[in-house]
Structure 1
Amino acid sequence: MGGRFTWPLIHTEAPQALADSYAEFLVRAQEEQRLAGAFYRAVREAARREVPLLAAGNTTALQAARSLAERLASERRLAYVIYCHGARYPVQAWAEAATLAKSAVAYNAGTLNRAREAGVTHMEVFDGAGCGWTSHKDPDKATGTLRTVEQAAAWPISHPRCSRAFGPRPDVTTAG
């Protein structure tokens, strides 16, 4: 009230410490982004060599995963993949899960595309007994159910290592 106001030292140190922490956080975030970019490029480069062999039928998904993991381990010295929640997975386990998931999605997409071409509108789902439609926890259990081709295309698998497959049902023309 007419006098000069100054912040006490305790109040000026707190924002300064916060600003310093923010600068450190930005540096750490930039480094994480750089490492993630390097990992992405390494995986993409290795996958470019291995996935065509899988697609051409010259190798199984597990063989392709093993080759991908070996390539990442030897050429990029990657032993673990660290997920965003901090979990560390051996590169072999990650490559196997990723390769199996991608090959299952591709296989099911091929089945669904062929069914569409043939005019089939419904598919029977073959999956693990406890597997839900969108995840293991989904109470809508998938195996033995009938789904439209569009529904099947939306959920070709529900989780990594999913064993889901579809069988065309030309005898079914409406939901019911």
Structure 2
Amino acid sequence: MGEHFTWSLIHTEALQSLASDSYAGFMRRSQEEQRMASVFYRAVREAARREVPLLATGNTTALQAARTLAARLAAEHQLLYVVYRNGARVPVQAWAEAATLAKSAVAYNAGTLNRSRAAGVAFMQVFDGADCGWTSHQDPDKATGTVRTVEDAAAWPITHPRCTRAFAPRPHHVAV
């Protein structure tokens, strides 16, 4: 407006009030987000306690367990979407499938690796998707068909949700 602006006590107090109010609002929202995350975590843990033992004992498949988990979260907790850190809203059914398949694949591979290690096997052959890298899809070190130590296999039992990685013991493999 053509005038020189200077901060006065009224301006400073108004800005401080706005900042204080904004900070209080941010803190309330942050606390509510934490509360909702805790509710979600407890709901998932409770539902998983019911479904995972059925998966582990072979009484259900991973996809059946995922469907039941998603249905329970939707019915009991009105949870229809899972919001990821990047803001993506994923339907709870898709999230439950990916999570259940990943957890069951890790558990299956851990069992294979533990039994192999107990039998004195030091090396495992890797079976995986043709384009899947050892640590990620982008990793140029392709996994399938390679032979890795049991320790390396335990470090990377899968690399992504819905990973098809599996291991087979190579008891007579000699390191080169």
Specify if TM > 0.5: yes
Displacement after TM superposition at 1:17 (Å): 2.3
- Report SS of the residue matched to 1:54: helix
The Cα shift of 1:7 comes to 4.6
State the superposition RMSD in angstroms: 1.4
What does residue 117 of structure 1 align with? 118
User: Matches of 2:68 and 2:149 in 1, distance apart?
Assistant: 36
2:115 is aligned with what amino acid?
R
- 1:15 to partner: Cα distance: 3.9
Gaps of 5+ in 2: 1-6
Deviation (angstroms), 1:12: 4.4
Identity of aligned residues (%): 71
Counterpart position of 1:62: 63
Structure 1 alignment gaps of length 5 or more: 1-5
What is the number of equivalent residue pairs in this alignment?
170
Alpha-carbon distance in 2 for matches of 1:171, 1:150: 17
Cα distance in 1 between the residues matched to 2:77 and 2:17:
40
Mean Cα deviation higher: 158-167 or 17-26: 17-26
**Residue equivalent to 1:91:** 92
After TM superposition, the runs of 4+ consecutive aligned structure 1 residues lying more than 6 A away are none
Bigger CA drift: 132-141 or 54-63?
132-141
Tell me what 1:77 maps to: 78
Maintained 8 Å contact 1:80/1:88 = yes
What does residue range 44-59 of structure 1 map to in structure 2 within 5 Å?
A: 44-59=45-60
Report if the CA contact (8 A) 1:123-1:146 is conserved.
yes
Question: Larger deviation: 138-147 or 91-100?
Answer: 138-147
Q: How far apart are the structure 2 equivalents of 1:104 and 1:170?
A: 22
1:78-133: CA deviation from partner (whole Å, max 9, x where unpaired):
11111121110101000000000000000000000011011110111110111111
CA positional deviation for 1:23? 1.4
Q: Which moved more, 1:154-163 or 1:16-25?
A: 16-25
Name the structure 2 match of 1:166.
167
